[in-house]
Amino acid sequence: MIAYLDNAATTKASENVYNKMSSVFLTDFGNPSSMHKLGMDAEMYIKESKDVISKILKCEASEIVFTSGGTESNNMALIGSALANNRKGKHIITTKMEHASVYNPLLFLESLGYEISFAPVDKEGHVIIDSLRDLVRDDTILVSVMFVNNEIGSVNDIAAVSKAIKAKNPNVIFHVDAIQAFGKMNVVPKNFGIDLMSVSGHKILGPKGSGFLYIKKGIKVKPIIHGGGQEKGMRSGTENVPAIAGLGTAAKDAYDDLDANREHMYELKERLIRGLLEIDGLQVHTFGKSGEEIADLREKILKTAPHVVSCGFEGLSRSEVLLHALEEKGVYVSSGSACSSNHPDISGTLTAIGTENRYLNSTLRFSFAATTTAEEIDYALECLKELLPVLRKYTKH
């Protein structure tokens, strides 16, 4: 049996997405900048996807800029807005548990003379809003806070964050990495006070290499890719029409069935956590340790994202040992975010929430999609119960 539980890294494209993209690749393959019919047909796919996404976000289609994915969207938002607004100041605030595609662009800006401040988070992975507000100054131009943490699934109170920072400095631009939130919850920017918002397509059964940046009308962002002036000059380069069409299809499908999909994933999450807590010697991050009775578990789960569970296993020297043992049995998980796996240092997220040392190097992330089944969860738990005693026996202490 195969149990694919690494959907926060990437999802499998849906059949609807595959069919839509195949049509564009093989039939409507024109360059959307061309003046002939094939070009205009290709351009229609871009317009249709913008219309779909703008309706979901309740914004104008002109506020959507298509990108190659979440990393580019975050880079465009952070670097582009910082460069466009540097006369107002060079102070930027973020948190201690952001994705690498936020953290590293900010390090780049720091090398250009910008000052970066980091707001702390609580033990459940929420930014401490009072501490964040205290960091805001007259020369603060940008605040970046993720909506859903990609490693542990905590959900920030984005509306409260926006209200707090803008009460202190109304001119601050508020960027939100919504890559793990879009498609899992309603993320209407105007309802949350969001100025810039990054989204990726391959987290919602869409294609890799697709994404967009929401830019609120009136927010100044300098383009970081220059060329032929596509996307109204914000993102030059021939548009990836198949990916854009696939992204629009995936977004529509995700929000057409949002409530049912969320409930399904929450049921899977509860099933997995309850099963994990029956296994000796582990910590389900932000939930509890094995053997603990958690009377309000369902209530706690509903306050988190529906699709991510992070668990540390005692008695293992490295998470990759268990990861590869599970892989041999057809269970696919991750040892953190897929991007951070390229840099196997201690997780900034786990460190920020105060995770005990014995779990820092032995944490796995399980993540679901609407297509994940209860059978996959049960099989993963069965494999864990079989493998852990053996691996612990041979781990050197």
First-to-final CA distance of the chain:
33
Active-site residue among 59, 311, 339, 383? 339
Determine the pLDDT at residue 60: 98
Q: Which CATH number fits domain 3-10+258-393: 3.40.630.10, 3.40.50.970, 3.90.1150.10, 3.30.420.40?
A: 3.90.1150.10
Q: Which CATH number fits domain 15-256: 3.40.640.10, 3.40.50.620, 3.30.450.20, 3.30.420.40?
A: 3.40.640.10
Amino acid making up residue 135: L
Pairing mode of beta strands 363-367, 115-119: unpaired
Q: At what angle do helices 258-276 and 241-256 cross, to 10 degrees?
A: 80
- 16-30, 168-182, 339-353, 362-376: lowest mean pLDDT where? 339-353
Say if residues 135 and 147 touch (Cβ distance below 8 Å): no
Say whether 368 sits in a helix, a strand or coil. Answer: coil
Q: Is 311 a catalytic residue?
A: no
CA distance 301 to 287: 8
Determine the pLDDT at residue 234: 86
CA distance 79 to 263: 37
CA distance 129 to 117: 14
CA distance 55 to 33: 25
Q: What is the mean pLDDT of residues 67-78?
A: 97
Determine the pLDDT at residue 337: 46
Q: What is the mean pLDDT of residues 240-244?
A: 97
CA distance to 7, 8, 310, 368, per residue, from 372 (Å): 9, 12, 17, 6
From the number of C-beta atoms within 10 Å of its C-beta (0-12, 13-18, 19+), residue 375 rates as exposed
* Domain locations in the chain as residue ranges: 3-10+258-393, 15-256
DSSP string, 218-236: T-----SS-SS-TGGGTS-
Question: Whole-prediction pTM value?
Answer: 0.94
Element (H, E) at 268: helix 258-276
Say if residues 309 and 273 touch (Cβ distance below 8 Å): yes
Determine the pLDDT at residue 263: 98
Say whether 258 sits in a helix, a strand or coil. Answer: helix
Name the strands in the sheet holding 282-284, side by side, starting at the edge strand that comes first in the sequence: 288-289, 282-284, 308-313, 363-367
Diameter over CA atoms, the chain: 69
Amino acid making up residue 212: F
Q: What is the mean pLDDT of residues 9-33?
A: 94
Query: What tens digit of pLDDT does each residue of 281-328 get?
Result: 999 999 989 888 777 999 999 999 999 999 999 999 899 999 999 999
Query: What tens digit of pLDDT does each residue of 46-58 get?
Result: 999 999 999 999 9
Determine the pLDDT at residue 345: 60
Say if residues 334 and 365 touch (Cβ distance below 8 Å): yes
b/e string for 185-200 if b means 16 or more Cβ within 10 A? eebebeebbbbbbbbb
